[in-house]
């Protein structure tokens, strides 16, 4: 076992139990790139005028879906968590209610997309996966707002509006993600 800070030689394993090499480095860099792109989309999305402070288009979820398709469920959750955390730090909302709404929505969308995608064995297209993720995101945000702000039950009358926005945003992100993933596959791009 190499000493901390010492580069492993030959067949020795690193502190994480993996052998050093190109695959680990490429996966790490791919996750870092997806997180960075997700943070940029997260911050750009905050600049868009939207009808409610709790409504987002979910453009950053595209990077979560790309991570899910090319790197797996663990990487998708990591991308979702890091992009929300870093995006809120850069936006000045870390540990505020907006952070927790984004966190709940991002992780619930990642969980539902992973469940629906099933490692590529899903009967659903990328559009269906994105629509399910958008609805999960909106449901998590809606119930988090209800929990944090203890709004009256009349707030539930807004559910149709929120889910119609979720369908629109799921369709938009699904279209973009489908084109992006298709392009990556056609070009032979490998993230792992």
> What pLDDT digit, counting tens, does each position of 139-171 carry?
888 888 877 777 677 777 778 888 888 888 889
> What pLDDT digit, counting tens, does each position of 74-83 carry?
999 999 999 9
Helical residues (DSSP H) of 19-154, grouped into ranges? 22-47, 61-71, 73-91, 97-117, 126-149
Joined together, the tokens standing for residue 34 give 């997806």
The most confident of the ranges 11-15, 18-22, 50-54, 138-142 is: 138-142
pLDDT at residue 18, as a whole number: 55
What gap in Å lies between CA 184 and CA 129, rounded to an integer?
A: 18
22-187: CATH topology is Arp2/3 complex 21 kDa subunit ARPC3 (1.10.1760)
Domain residue limits, the chain: 22-187
**Radius of gyration of the chain from Cα atoms?**
18
């Amino acid at each position: 076992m190499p000493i901390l800070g010492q580069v492993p030689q030959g067949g020795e394993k690193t502190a994480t139990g993996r052998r050093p090499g190109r695959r680990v480095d490429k996966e790490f860099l791919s996750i870092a790139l997806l997180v960075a792109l997700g943070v940029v989309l997260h911050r750009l999305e905050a600049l868009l005028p939207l009808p409610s402070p709790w409504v987002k288009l979910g453009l950053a979820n595209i990077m979560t879906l790309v991570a899910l398709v090319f790197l797996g469920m663990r990487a998708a959750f990591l991308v979702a968590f890091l992009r929300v955390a870093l995006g809120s730090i850069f936006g000045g909302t870390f540990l505020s209610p907006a952070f927790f709404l984004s966190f709940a929505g991002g992780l619930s969308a990642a969980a539902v997309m992973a469940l629906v995608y099933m490692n590529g064995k899903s009967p659903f297209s990328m559009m269906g996966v994105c629509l399910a993720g958008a609805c999960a995101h909106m449901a998590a945000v809606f119930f988090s707002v209800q929990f944090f702000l203890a709004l009256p039950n009349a707030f539930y009358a807004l559910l149709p509006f929120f889910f119609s926005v979720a369908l629109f945003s799921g369709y938009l992100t699904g279209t973009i993600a489908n084109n992006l993933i298709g392009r990556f596959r056609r070009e032979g791009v490998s993230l792992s």
